[in-house]
Every structure is written in structure tokens, then in C-alpha cells.
């Protein structure tokens, strides 16, 4: 009797426990990763309620990192000044799983977003495939928007002759370097026209391997783009080719650097989840390749006194392969779209046109970010911003020759992304050899490209 009562009590307790666990584990498949991945995204949709006056239309705009991004509010302020009858309400979906959350929000017909920000190309293709975005071609034709100003970027994101997003930011990759590290080693600063061999040599010269006072000549973040995409810069291959043997020399270079302690060990970086800004700001990294989105962060954090060990910094163009014009680099675009379910499409288009147009570009550039619409005047605005490195090389580094998207548009891009990520991880941790990793990519991507579902 006693035992029985005890057992039933325990069962009741455990059932309550398992129900709670269900809520957090199984059922919550859509919420857990966001909560687990970032921590800061736990409070997923933080909405800034905007008071609408009589006759005003309120439009909802999905964004991430509201407090960390300097240009959202200036853009909205200027737009609302020009359009007194329109109000923009920002909805922060959190950065770590933004595209997944947005995809969930736009699923079904319950969403009331008028404008959505698209973070990356795989996310864009996913949403286009789902058919939840409005084609913008008619609006573009109606208002005579000149797409040539986007320097061919819009061609790369056209899906079956239709354009579903308009880019407002176009970040590209450069090499950040810490002048103090170069001075300490007595090495000349890098230049805008270095080859990969020169880059490797430079990194090796900077390295100090005294335990406790290590200086790393180079730093590669754990993203696949940081190493793998060196390979596509000669313009001969793309990352969707299905054969990846061209990646071998670059993996060999980076793995050798890792072996010799020129850069930090990938496995350690991965498990410690070290952010690239944390790595660079410690002041013991000579060069780090990263996107231009990091410029605004550097300027802000140095100004606020948070980064003290990398205050003396500069940027140069990406290294280039032999016989290729310097200035070829990777690009990633951030764009605006109008969901098919948007309640106020015409007004939303006004906002998209404003943000992606010249006025928007000026505002974005003034915060130290790179707008998609890039002209000499806008480049000057960025480089003349207080806190941007003063040397001519850094200014010149903002001029690019060829831009290759980190992930081109393809219906299979998110599946291919998984394969490439996994192979990158296996090669970098030493779980497989470079040849095995490449063979793995060839086989799996080949299967994805060859056989449709």
C-alpha cells in the first residue's frame, strides 16, 4: 500500500516534469534552438509599440539586433519625416536564428509584416521557394528604379526572371590588421595587392609562439566562408559547381598555419564559441579576414573604450591568387522584401525604395556600414567617418573589383550549405584529410545537384 502510494506520487511528479520537458524539448522544436543558440533571443519577438495618430498607417518591419544596429532608427526617422502618414514599427526577431524565425512567422496566413529584412541568400531562396515573397519587378518598372546602380548584384539574386528583394547593404570581405602587432614584429603593413603566398609569409613573420604571450599572425573564424571561399576568388569556380578540388591549396595553407601555431586551432575555437570580435580585440591577432560589417563595430567599440588592444587598426583588400586582379572578394547582401501577405504593399514599397535608394544609402553609410548602392561619394562618407583608419590603404580597400556572393542563388542552396559546412568542419578539426573531405563534398553535392527530390 505504502509502496503503491509512493509510486503513484512519483509518477505524478514525473509526469508533471515530463510535460514541462515536452514543452521545452519536443514540441518546442521551433523555440528551443533560438533560446539555446543565442540566449539573447529567448525573448524572441520584442515589439516596439508605436502610437499611431489619426489617419496614419502603421507598417511592421522585421529586423534583428535592434540595439546594436545604428541605422534602423535614422532610416525610420527620415522616412517618417517625408511620409507623415506612415509609421514604421520594428519587430526584433533576434539574430542567431533570424531566418528560421522569419520563415516560421511567414508560414500560413497569420503574418502581418509589411516589410521583412532578408539576412542571407539561402534564407532568401527558402522564402522564394515557399512562395511567401512578393515579386518586385512591377514596382521597379513603375517607378523606373535603376538596377544598374547595384553593379550587377540584383542579377545574382534574380530567380526565374523575377526579383523578390532589393539589397540595401552589401558587405564584402576584407583583411583587418592590427598595426601594433606589425610594429612589434618590425614587419611592414600589408598592402592592397598581396598574393596568397605573400599573405601566408606575412602571417608567419608575425607569429610569436612563446607560451603565455602567443601572437597569432592570422585568425580564421569558424565559418566555412572564412577559409573555403578563398577558393572561388579567381572566378574560375563557384561553390555550387559540384566538384571542389580547387579548394585543396587553400585548405593546405590554413591547416599548415594551424599546425604551426600561426592561427588558433579550429576545434578549440569551435567548442569555446569564441566570437571573431573577441579574438581580434584581444590584441594578439595580426590579421583577420572578416566582412565589412565589422567596421562599424570596431569604430563604436574603440570609441566607447571597450576595445583597447586593437585601437590601431587598418583594413586591406583580400589576398588574391596569382594572375588575378586584386580586389576580388566575397560579398553578402542584406535586403528588403515585401511578403505576399503584407497588408499595405504600396506603402511598403515606398519604404523599400527609400531604404535601398540613394537617401537610404547615405544614412547607412553615415553609420559606418556599407550600403548596396555604392558610389564614390558614399565610399567617401564611410572612410571620412570619425574612427575609420586614416591611412590611404584602408580607404582604397573599400573599392572592389569583383564581388562573388558567399552563396549564389539556387533552389538547393540550403541543402548544399549543410554538406559544405560539415566537410569544412571535418577538414578543419582533422576528422578527415583534405582529400577525403573534398571527395565527400564532390559526392554529396553531386547527389543533391543530380537527383531532385
Partner 1 sequence: MGKKTIDPALVQSKLSVWEPRLAELQRQAEAETDPKKKLKLGKQVDRTRDKIRQIKTGERFSRQTKRDMVAYSFILPNFIGFAVFTLGPVIFAFVLAFLKWDGNSPMEFAGFGNFALMIGNTRFLASLRNTVIYCVATVPLTLAVALGLAVLLNQKIKGRNFFRTVSFFPYVASLVAVAAVWNMLFSPAKSGPINMVLYSLGVAAKSLPKWSADKDWVMFTVVLFSVWKNMGYYMVIYLAGLQGVNGELYEACALDGANTWQRFWYITLPQLRPTTFFVTIMLTINCFKVYDIVYMLAGGSVGVLNESAIVLVYHIYEEAFRNWNLGYASAVAMVLFLMVLAITLVQFRGEKKYAN
Residue numbers of the site for partner 1 (CB under 8 A)? 2-3, 6-7, 10-11, 14, 18, 21-22, 24-27, 29-30, 32-33, 36-37, 39, 96-97, 100, 103-104, 106-108, 126, 129-132, 221-223, 265-268, 270-273, 275, 414-415, 418, 421-422, 425-426, 429-431, 444, 453
Within 32-107, strands assigned E span 46-47, 57-63, 86-92
CB of 2 to partner 1, least distance (A): 6
CB of 100 to partner 1, least distance (A): 5
Cβ-based nearer residue to partner 1, 78 or 112? 112
Alpha helices in 405-451 (DSSP H): 413-429, 434-450
Q: What angle do CA 147, 151, 157 make, to 5 degrees?
A: 70
Interacting residues of 59 by C-beta distance below 8 A, sequence separation 6+: 86, 87, 88, 89, 114, 115, 344, 347, 348, 351
CB of 112 to partner 1, least distance (A): 16
Residues in the chain: 453
CB of 368 to partner 1, least distance (A): 24
Cβ-based nearer residue to partner 1, 106 or 335? 106
Cα separation, 199 vs 218, whole angstroms: 9
DSSP letter for each residue of 200-231? HHHHHHH-B--TTS-BEEEE--SSTHHHHGGG
DSSP letter for each residue of 104-160? HHHSSS----SEEEE--HHHHHHHHHHT-B---HHHHHHHT--GGGGTTHHHHT-BT
CB of 431 to partner 1, least distance (A): 4
CB of 131 to partner 1, least distance (A): 5
108: how many CB neighbours lie within 10 A of its CB?
9
CB of 363 to partner 1, least distance (A): 30
CB of 120 to partner 1, least distance (A): 12
Cβ-based nearer residue to partner 1, 19 or 46? 19
- Distance from the first to the final alpha carbon of the chain: 58
CB of 254 to partner 1, least distance (A): 16
Cβ-based nearer residue to partner 1, 100 or 312? 100
Nearest to 147 by CA among 133, 160, 163: 163
What's the grid cell of residue 440? Answer: 565527400
Cβ-based nearer residue to partner 1, 97 or 114? 97
Cβ-based nearer residue to partner 1, 402 or 414? 414
Torsion angle of C-alpha atoms 193, 197, 202, 203, degrees rounded to 10: 120
Phi, psi (5° rounding) for residue 398?
A: -75, -15
Cα separation, 90 vs 82, whole angstroms: 18
Phi-psi group of 134: left, alpha or beta (phi > 0 → left; psi -120 to 50 → alpha; rest → beta): beta
Residue recorded with cell 610569436: 208
Cβ-based nearer residue to partner 1, 129 or 198? 129
Q: What angle do CA 374, 376, 378 make, to 5 degrees?
A: 55
Cβ-based nearer residue to partner 1, 238 or 426? 426
Cβ-based nearer residue to partner 1, 385 or 412? 412
Nearest to 408 by CA among 147, 139, 225: 225
CB of 404 to partner 1, least distance (A): 20
Cβ-based nearer residue to partner 1, 11 or 82? 11
CB of 121 to partner 1, least distance (A): 14
Cβ-based nearer residue to partner 1, 364 or 428? 428
Nearest to 266 by CA among 313, 229, 307, 216: 216
CB of 7 to partner 1, least distance (A): 5
Cβ-based nearer residue to partner 1, 3 or 53? 3
Amino acid at each position: 500500500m505504502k509502496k503503491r502510494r509512493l509510486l503513484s506520487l512519483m509518477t505524478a511528479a514525473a509526469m508533471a516534469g515530463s510535460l514541462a520537458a515536452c514543452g521545452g524539448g519536443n514540441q518546442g522544436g521551433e523555440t528551443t534552438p533560438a533560446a539555446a543558440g543565442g540566449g539573447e533571443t529567448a525573448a524572441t519577438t520584442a515589439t516596439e509599440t508605436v502610437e499611431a495618430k489619426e489617419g496614419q498607417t502603421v507598417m511592421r518591419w522585421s529586423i534583428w539586433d535592434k540595439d546594436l544596429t545604428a541605422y534602423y532608427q535614422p532610416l525610420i526617422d527620415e522616412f517618417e519625416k517625408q511620409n507623415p502618414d506612415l509609421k514604421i514599427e520594428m519587430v526584433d526577431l533576434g539574430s542567431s536564428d533570424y531566418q528560421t524565425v522569419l520563415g516560421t512567422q511567414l508560414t500560413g496566413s497569420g503574418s502581418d509584416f509589411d516589410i521583412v529584412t532578408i539576412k542571407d541568400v539561402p534564407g532568401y531562396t527558402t522564402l522564394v521557394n515557399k512562395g511567401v515573397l512578393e515579386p518586385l519587378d512591377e514596382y521597379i518598372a513603375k517607378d523606373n528604379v535603376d538596377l544598374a546602380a547595384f553593379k550587377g548584384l540584383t542579377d545574382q539574386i534574380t530567380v526565374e526572371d523575377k526579383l523578390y528583394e532589393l539589397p540595401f547593404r552589401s558587405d564584402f570581405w576584407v583583411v583587418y590588421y592590427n598595426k601594433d602587432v606589425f610594429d612589434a614584429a618590425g614587419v611592414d603593413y600589408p598592402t592592397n595587392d598581396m598574393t596568397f603566398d605573400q599573405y601566408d609569409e606575412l602571417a608567419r613573420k608575425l607569429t610569436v609562439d612563446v607560451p603565455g604571450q602567443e601572437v597569432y599572425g592570422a585568425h580564421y573564424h569558424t565559418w566555412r566562408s572564412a577559409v573555403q571561399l578563398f577558393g572561388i576568388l579567381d572566378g574560375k569556380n563557384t561553390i555550387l559547381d559540384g566538384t571542389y578540388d580547387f579548394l585543396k591549396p587553400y585548405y593546405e595553407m590554413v591547416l599548415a598555419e594551424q599546425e604551426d601555431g600561426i592561427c588558433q586551432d579550429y576545434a578549440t575555437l569551435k567548442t569555446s564559441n569564441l566570437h571573431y570580435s573577441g579574438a581580434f580585440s584581444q590584441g594578439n591577432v595580426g590579421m583577420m579576414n572578416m566582412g565589412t560589417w565589422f567596421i562599424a563595430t570596431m569604430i563604436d567599440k574603440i570609441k566607447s573604450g571597450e576595445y583597447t588592444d586593437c585601437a590601431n587598426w587598418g583594413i586591406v583588400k583580400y589576398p588574391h591568387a596569382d594572375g588575378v586582379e586584386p580586389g576580388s572578394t566575397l560579398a553578402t547582401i542584406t535586403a528588403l522584401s515585401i511578403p505576399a501577405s503584407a497588408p499595405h504593399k504600396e506603402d511598403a514599397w515606398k519604404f523599400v525604395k527609400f531604404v535601398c535608394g540613394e537617401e537610404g544609402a547615405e544614412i547607412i553609410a553615415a553609420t559606418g556600414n556599407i550600403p548596396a548602392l555604392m558610389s564614390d561619394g558614399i565610399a567617401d562618407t564611410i572612410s571620412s567617418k570619425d574612427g575609420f583608419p586614416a591611412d590611404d590603404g584602408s580607404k582604397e580597400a573599400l573599392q572592389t573589383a569583383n564581388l562573388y556572393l558567399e552563396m549564389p542563388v539556387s533552389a538547393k542552396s540550403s541543402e548544399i550549405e549543410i554538406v559544405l559546412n560539415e566537410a569544412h568542419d571535418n577538414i578543419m578539426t582533422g576528422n578527415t584529410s583534405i582529400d577525403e573531405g573534398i571527395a565527400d563534398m564532390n559526392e554529396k553535392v553531386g547527389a543533391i545537384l543530380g537527383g531532385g527530390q
